[in-house]
Amino acid sequence: MPGAGYMPKVTAFGGGTGLSNLLKGLKAHTDRVTAVVTVCDNGGSSGRLRREFDVPPPGDIRNCLAALADTEPLMEELLQYRFEESDMEGHSFGNLLLTALTRITGDFGTAIREANKILNVRGKVLPSTLEKVTLVAMHTDGTKSTGEAAVGKSEKPISRVELKPSPGKATAEVIEAIRGADMLVFGPGSLYSSVIPNLLVEGVLEAVMASKAPRVYICNVMTQPGETTGYDADRHLRAIEMHSQDGFADYVIVNTGRVPQEVAERYMRNGQYPVDTGRDNLLGRSFELVEGDIISRNSFARHDAGKLADLLMDLLLSTLAPDSFLFKEKKG
């Protein structure tokens, strides 16, 4: 494990609960985590605020800020508090806070920077782009779904996704976070609506592939109805490669732990199934396959944040040459 005093720089890409869960584990190891968050959400509270106030969707940003905030538990509870009555029904306090900060500062990017300060975030949370983009999915039957909410509800197999009206440009902070990272992490999270959209933003993929930092893909624990029904880990990765390039990942992490039966049965009633590793298809490829029992033992079928972060830190240490400064500092 990293030695005392060393703070590795990890840049993680995604959105939703997958990324926020990972961040909770990473912040136990380092204060130099940057979360690059997709801004395609158009459903629920985020969608309403996007339409009514013409701001980028704040929901995934809120989740990541709450995950990295170095504050009392009450503050996280406050950010995630969701109103259940009157015209406020469905809105979370954190979404309203980010919207208000945007109105006050006049800029969504500035609002997020201020929120990072207010919440004493251990690291940094950044939107992948500040431009207004919409997710569009092309389905295998030739139809399209427009908007993240529609994509998630379509339950149709997806052949490809795009960002419209243009991919949007990555912010300078995002490019800097990629260039300065010791490790680049993709997932876990919704394959087509959280992980891949970040790679479609102009400038991101080029910076990622130019970086010398190891690129790690963390495969999901469960499939998603329609979106990834029947997908094993290999097919998840091939979808990413189709939207980026072959040889995208240096390491692929898959869970080998068994989802508790009662949890799996509850998810399967909603059309979600444990992701098969598809191990035979993953072996012999250009990346290193990393397997481990990293499933949470609580009531949700997701990664254990602590185990996953520990695995990533061990992996980072293993990638460094023994004579490198970072290796010596870690070992010291």
To the nearest whole number, what is the mean pLDDT of the chain? 90
Across-strand partners of 129?
170
pLDDT at position 328 is 41
Q: Where are the alpha helices (DSSP H) in 106-249?
A: 108-118, 148-154, 172-179, 196-200, 204-210, 233-243
Number of domains in the chain: 2
Shared domain for 169 and 58, answered yes or no, is: no
Domain boundaries, position 113: 42-125
pLDDT at position 1 is 43
Shared domain for 151 and 27, answered yes or no, is: yes
Query: What percent of the chain shows pLDDT beyond 70?
Result: 93
Which amino acid, residue 173?
Answer: E
Region 250-278: mean pLDDT is 94
Place 3 in a pLDDT band, splitting at 50, 70 and 90: very low
Distance CA(246)–CA(297), nearest Å, equals 34
Shared domain for 91 and 232, answered yes or no, is: no
259-278 burial string, b = 16+ CB within 10 Å, else e?
beeebbeebeeeebbbbebb
pLDDT at position 2 is 45
Shared domain for 256 and 286, answered yes or no, is: yes
281-307 burial string, b = 16+ CB within 10 Å, else e?
ebeeeebbbbbbebbbeeebbbbbbeb
Q: Looking at the predicted structure, is the pLDDT value of residue 310 above 80?
A: yes
Shared domain for 111 and 14, answered yes or no, is: no
pLDDT at position 301 is 92
Shared domain for 136 and 111, answered yes or no, is: no
Place 274 in a pLDDT band, splitting at 50, 70 and 90: very high
For 183-207, the pLDDT digits (tens) are 999 999 999 999 999 999 999 999 9
pLDDT at position 5 is 60
For 85-123, the pLDDT digits (tens) are 888 888 899 999 999 999 999 999 999 999 999 998 989
Look at the alpha carbons of 211, 216, 222, 227 in this order and tell me if their dihedral is positive or negative: positive
Q: Looking at the predicted structure, is the pLDDT value of residue 148 above 90?
A: no
Shared domain for 117 and 134, answered yes or no, is: no
Shared domain for 133 and 263, answered yes or no, is: yes
Place 56 in a pLDDT band, splitting at 50, 70 and 90: confident
Which whole-number Å values give the CA distances from 243 to 196, 237, 332, in the listed order? 7, 10, 40
For 6-41, the pLDDT digits (tens) are 689 999 999 888 999 999 999 999 999 999 999 887
